[in-house]
Structure 1
């Protein structure tokens, strides 16, 4: 692989204009085509094989408009100055209802003045609009059009807001200033790392091209596969981070070779042959980790996994082709436009002396460093025991958002459970004549008598007479863990010959949580094993491969601890933009607890495991390279940390800046990812790579690079850092060296 990457890097450096033109045309074409054709997305958050999915399928069979295609839209009305039933407010509401009935795809509009449509104080009411044949992917546009049709009600002084009944896949997360802030922060870090504006712009440009290309591909893939709306933001977040980091590692190596007097093209060739291999392996671990999400059994999560992997693929491709092309075109001008008062030390030979000193310090006292690091990491991970998983409802949306306002009005008027009604669909053993059948009545009575059920609608029998539907309101908000318990109690209803299924948003998220808990061990096991195998192929050292996998799991503990501290315990939730209810006390506002979606930890695990492995690969390649030169284990650890510490820290700081910038998004899911990723990367690049990994490598001594002869013969020679160029001795000879003698 080293030889191939060297040839590729040298060719790209010599034909820089062609490579640059090809990437720019590709990025512009794909992104332009995606924007011109639109980006179709799917609101499908189905989980095949679950009870909620069965209820959803039955609900579409013969229950009339609103239950098949098209769905239902609810508009909340609030009269701050009097009752809705008073004139002229009532007339304004009726005119609004009449306007909605004339709109396309609307087949039924229920006024607030029906049974159950208005609150007991007569100030809050709900208009229910049932649609037929409306495109689910245009639900947002339809809702806005219906809200606009309620202009007569607004003119009469009424507040009109649309209730949010979306599922996790249909929450559109639009791009905003966070991407710009992240790029600016990354540019500042690069300027301080390199000291020149031209060098700082190379990773930024390469990352932007890779992100644009990836987003273009993702946008076009929406025409052939279901594409959740979070795909773009997740790809942008990860693509920016890894794209800048990979280019940074290559650029740092290239500038050092230039400083040593190596000609430009030869420097690029050596850089791609060595550090390019580390980039390929590091990107491979991220892609493996993300691909393993396909085993989670949750289509939304699986799609997010492989779609995010696309951004990593393009980050790797631009790093080993576009970056060499840019370096070849720039030549020594890569050090041009030096910034006054900023001294970039990445290219100087003494730039890593501080980190080398730290490595030597760790090597002299490995046991103390190991114990201290473990204690620090244990303290950071301890809050993870309080991690609270659960569905996020609109009660946690931004305080000034329409969804939050509608949620609060609905809860005030009809109880907290009205924001997440349970759709109970029972399959009957035989055809019934109608809602007055004894079996139907018994089902309704059984459901109504369950602890935690506040209200059950009149039963509705489908056209075949073989299913009955009950809309059930629980006593608990959708995010309350007790709401999931109510779902389970309803499913436990036992009537001979009757199969009771529960659907709706709460039931679906409950099933998603159960599926995640069931599949999590499988996903974790596959990710750890495949990543360890990839490291084994890269370094031919079983102990190093296993140790690296364990270290990455340790960094995850710190990430989950931070999530629990900020969201589950609530310490700092206000600082990341999570607004407590308006009637909360000061203490409740200070410790505002927010549940974390059940699929977020598994997605975070995959992303973080892959990103943590990046730094492990870059550190280990430097240590391995030093060890191959002289065979002294402790010295190799110190030199490896010294040569990579500054670069890894700069790369981590860039990632942290990018992820922190995304915390500003109003979406709670993006906030949780931003906090978790930022904390994990910061801890990984400092405590783990700076102290824990070097200490364990010193203590392991010769065991680090031990490999049984039979395994050495079986493994293909896939050198990461160009060992075959730097150490031409046969593999068998190296395997017999007393590699730990230097300890």
Structure 2
């Protein structure tokens, strides 16, 4: 088993290195106005008007105008070299109408491509950037204004991954006290990530894989991979300490904790799979691709971990560190004491927990959704630099032009002179408030549609840019139907689509997760309560996001670079607001709902096993919290450390996910699992494990903890009428 997993990881990693799949941020949304505009653009307008058909090199001369003779000669020499680059169909110099900024210090070289697929475009961008070297030698800055620029797509360092792994190793050393035991979850998680990322990379040859997919898969895969292995290893070391033979201990671990891992991973996968109902391809793809890393984590946990435990035997406790982990991994009197304290005053704990969680969730009411444009990219990237130069030279709207397409009612045959409908089309768009400039309309080859670009007065992240989109769409142009495309319009449509589908996705996630818990624990009360508790932790996560990004209280502290103000200077480096893309909250919901259910499953499994032994609910809650408190806390610390480490990643979307995930897991493992869940279980008493007889009869005999209890000494049986037939499992 060890050889199979290592071979799979090595081969898939090698395949992803030598045959890497291209990435693509496809924001198409079938059935929307922006998609209709995109479809019309593909009908006879030429390759330059298709997605990926053109890109620009932004030139900036800090020492004077680009029209000076020496600089102009350097620019023209660079343009000639660009024309010789493969895949370049046409090159337009800055010395044309609209090619130079009013200051004459900033200009645009526009490059039309023969082929616009993501891999070819990325390679062409790199070659064109090298071809304009003559302008750099003349003291002119040249930056590609292209988000597919390979220099910006690369993971510059593995800093986030390394920090996360180091922090996880430190927590594991403190939890286990031995180097060998601490290294097992790390090794298993690395094999899992290598396998998952290899599959994802190779899938890029067949499907559109977003550029953030691999980093999201790494973030989630690293966290759950270490956590799942940690739970199995903790149980195994306890059984060894109780005197069981190695192979019997491994068998029981897989039968009990292995089942819990499968159920926990299943909830994460179910939640991510529900994103397929969101109606937004980018979100759907991110969901199932992230799910690949979770599947890999589950499989490695229930196959590779047992293999390693069997190979190591009692050497799993080798290389013990001094003064660390002497209490073992099988419980904590401190957590048991907390459980007993909660059991004695459940109403007080419940009120305190609700107050704390309410305070944490309150800022979520101020969350502001919008478009996270390139102006919030890492300041060291070409994408960010090009954005700032375009804004300084041509205005903020230059970074988010609207592609306006008129679907003509009557086919235009005579193109000279220009039909009146085209002039009317241009005039109506130009008269819209918030439109700074429009280009002349261009007819497609069939004469059935006309296209122009409208430059708004506002940056893509400005909410007023969305108002301009709606105003243009509302235009009444006799003889034509107006459609608006482009990034701003596409994200606006995505926000509307996601808002409409959110209730469906949330409902499906809650329903399926509750059903899975019902199958696992045979208790409707437990299933419903677990779903509600997970929603509470989500409120805390959204509150933290709103506080940091929507209210701007410390956005600079998480590494966000402030945008440029109207006078060209940078805004406050610590406090500034950042828009949150409309699809981020829904994806966060899916991920967090699944991850939060992990700890719920492990805690409930321990409480249920204790209850099945003696039938005392209060005692079972205290024992369950005592036996799982330390391992859940360790697992949560690891996951929080991993997510916090990824806040250092330069992509703004990853930062937002890192903050939300870290806060949610921290709150979930402390306030919710340590206080709120035990308090509610004590108050519910025997109702926790009540199951209607008719429901008990139709539920399959499926148990999270397997059949380990059958191998132990006979325990007192709890009351049948309170537990239901499920106690037989």
TM-score class normalised by the smaller sequence: over 0.9
Residue matched to 1:199: 181
Q: Which among 436, 457, 460 is matched to residue 478 of structure 1? A: 460
Distance 1:56 1:173, change over 3 A: farther
Alignment of 1:354-369 (within 5 A): 354-369=334-349
Residues in 1 aligned to 2:569 and 2:126: alpha-carbon distance in whole angstroms = 34
Comparing 575-584 with 386-395, greater Cα deviation is found at 575-584
Residues in 2 aligned to 1:37 and 1:569: alpha-carbon distance in whole angstroms = 43
- Secondary structure, in 3 states, of the residue corresponding to 2:558? coil
Gaps of 5+ in 1: 1-18
Deviation string 1:626-652 (CA, Å, 9 cap, x unpaired) is: 111111111111110000000000000
- Secondary structure, in 3 states, of the residue corresponding to 2:143? strand
Q: Which among 595, 604, 611 is matched to residue 588 of structure 2? A: 604
- Secondary structure, in 3 states, of the residue corresponding to 2:102? coil
Pairwise CA distance, 1:175:
6.1
Residue matched to 1:138: 120
Residue matched to 1:374: 354
Distance 1:731 1:544, change over 3 A: farther
Q: Does 1:712 align with 2:696?
A: yes
Pairwise CA distance, 1:291:
0.5
Residue matched to 1:541: 523
Q: Does 1:396 align with 2:376?
A: yes
- Secondary structure, in 3 states, of the residue corresponding to 1:266? helix
Q: Which among 635, 641, 644 is matched to residue 651 of structure 1? A: 635
Q: Which among 446, 449, 462 is matched to residue 444 of structure 2? A: 462
Pairwise CA distance, 1:33:
2.4
Q: Which among 653, 670, 676 is matched to residue 686 of structure 1? A: 670
Comparing 722-731 with 625-634, greater Cα deviation is found at 722-731
Pairwise CA distance, 1:166:
5.4
Comparing 213-222 with 256-265, greater Cα deviation is found at 213-222
Pairwise CA distance, 1:137:
2.5
Residue matched to 1:163: 145
Q: Which among 275, 278, 282 is matched to residue 293 of structure 1? A: 275
Distance 1:372 1:542, change over 3 A: same
TM-score, with normalisation over the residues of structure 2? Answer: 0.95
Pairwise CA distance, 1:46:
1.5
- Secondary structure, in 3 states, of the residue corresponding to 1:500? strand
Pairwise CA distance, 1:390:
1.1
CA contact (8 A) 1:706 1:735 kept: no
Residues in 2 aligned to 1:44 and 1:248: alpha-carbon distance in whole angstroms = 37
Residues in 2 aligned to 1:728 and 1:467: alpha-carbon distance in whole angstroms = 80
Distance 1:455 1:90, change over 3 A: same
Q: Does 1:699 align with 2:683?
A: yes
Distance 1:471 1:165, change over 3 A: farther
CA contact (8 A) 2:12 2:195 kept: yes
- Secondary structure, in 3 states, of the residue corresponding to 2:211? coil
Distance 1:296 1:77, change over 3 A: same
- Secondary structure, in 3 states, of the residue corresponding to 1:574? helix
Comparing 638-647 with 60-69, greater Cα deviation is found at 60-69
Residue matched to 2:203: 221
Pairwise CA distance, 1:220:
2.4
Q: Does 1:423 align with 2:407?
A: no
Residues in 2 aligned to 1:53 and 1:272: alpha-carbon distance in whole angstroms = 49
Q: Does 1:736 align with 2:716?
A: no
Q: Does 1:409 align with 2:389?
A: yes
Distance 1:454 1:70, change over 3 A: closer
Comparing 43-52 with 669-678, greater Cα deviation is found at 43-52
CA contact (8 A) 2:91 2:109 kept: yes
Alignment of 1:309-328 (within 5 A): 309-328=291-310
- Secondary structure, in 3 states, of the residue corresponding to 1:104? coil
CA contact (8 A) 2:329 2:631 kept: no
CA contact (8 A) 2:23 2:118 kept: no
Residues in 1 aligned to 2:187 and 2:78: alpha-carbon distance in whole angstroms = 52
CA contact (8 A) 1:172 1:229 kept: no
Q: Which among 634, 638, 648 is matched to residue 618 of structure 2? A: 634
Deviation string 1:300-351 (CA, Å, 9 cap, x unpaired) is: 1111111111111111111111111111111111111011232343435xx4
Pairwise CA distance, 1:165:
4.9
Comparing 679-688 with 594-603, greater Cα deviation is found at 594-603
Pairwise CA distance, 1:69:
6.7
Alignment of 1:654-673 (within 5 A): 654-673=638-657
Pairwise CA distance, 1:677:
0.6
Residues in 1 aligned to 2:372 and 2:230: alpha-carbon distance in whole angstroms = 37
Alignment of 1:485-634 (within 5 A): 485-581=467-563, 588-634=572-618
CA contact (8 A) 2:29 2:280 kept: yes
Comparing 402-411 with 241-250, greater Cα deviation is found at 402-411
Pairwise CA distance, 1:118:
0.8
Residues in 2 aligned to 1:68 and 1:398: alpha-carbon distance in whole angstroms = 28
CA contact (8 A) 2:611 2:718 kept: no
Residues in 1 aligned to 2:391 and 2:625: alpha-carbon distance in whole angstroms = 56
Pairwise CA distance, 1:39:
2.2
Comparing 112-121 with 220-229, greater Cα deviation is found at 220-229
Pairwise CA distance, 1:423:
0.4
CA contact (8 A) 1:193 1:344 kept: no
CA contact (8 A) 1:46 1:53 kept: yes
CA contact (8 A) 2:277 2:504 kept: yes
Residue matched to 2:727: none
Residues in 2 aligned to 1:507 and 1:306: alpha-carbon distance in whole angstroms = 25
Alignment of 1:72-83 (within 5 A): 72-83=54-65
Residue matched to 2:264: 282
Q: Does 1:86 align with 2:71?
A: no
Distance 1:118 1:550, change over 3 A: same
- Secondary structure, in 3 states, of the residue corresponding to 1:161? strand
Distance 1:302 1:445, change over 3 A: same
Q: Does 1:236 align with 2:218?
A: yes
Deviation string 1:472-519 (CA, Å, 9 cap, x unpaired) is: 000110011111111111111112341111111111111111111111
Pairwise CA distance, 1:167:
12
Distance 1:27 1:738, change over 3 A: closer
> How many pairs are equivalent?
718
Pairwise CA distance, 1:596:
1.0
Q: Which among 30, 41, 52 is matched to residue 48 of structure 1? A: 30
CA contact (8 A) 2:94 2:100 kept: yes
Deviation string 1:657-707 (CA, Å, 9 cap, x unpaired) is: 111111111100111111111110000000000000001111111111110
Distance 1:489 1:522, change over 3 A: same
Pairwise CA distance, 1:585:
8.1
TM-score, with normalisation over the residues of structure 1? Answer: 0.93
Distance 1:69 1:102, change over 3 A: farther
Residue matched to 1:13: none
Comparing 119-128 with 196-205, greater Cα deviation is found at 119-128
Calculate the aligned-residue CA RMSD, in Å: 2.1
Comparing 127-136 with 334-343, greater Cα deviation is found at 127-136
Residue matched to 1:725: 709
Q: Does 1:57 align with 2:42?
A: no
Distance 1:173 1:51, change over 3 A: farther
Residues in 1 aligned to 2:332 and 2:47: alpha-carbon distance in whole angstroms = 69
Pairwise CA distance, 1:81:
1.2
Gaps of 5+ in 2: 725-729
Pairwise CA distance, 1:398:
1.7
Residues in 2 aligned to 1:31 and 1:121: alpha-carbon distance in whole angstroms = 50
Pairwise CA distance, 1:586:
9.1
Distance 1:54 1:173, change over 3 A: farther
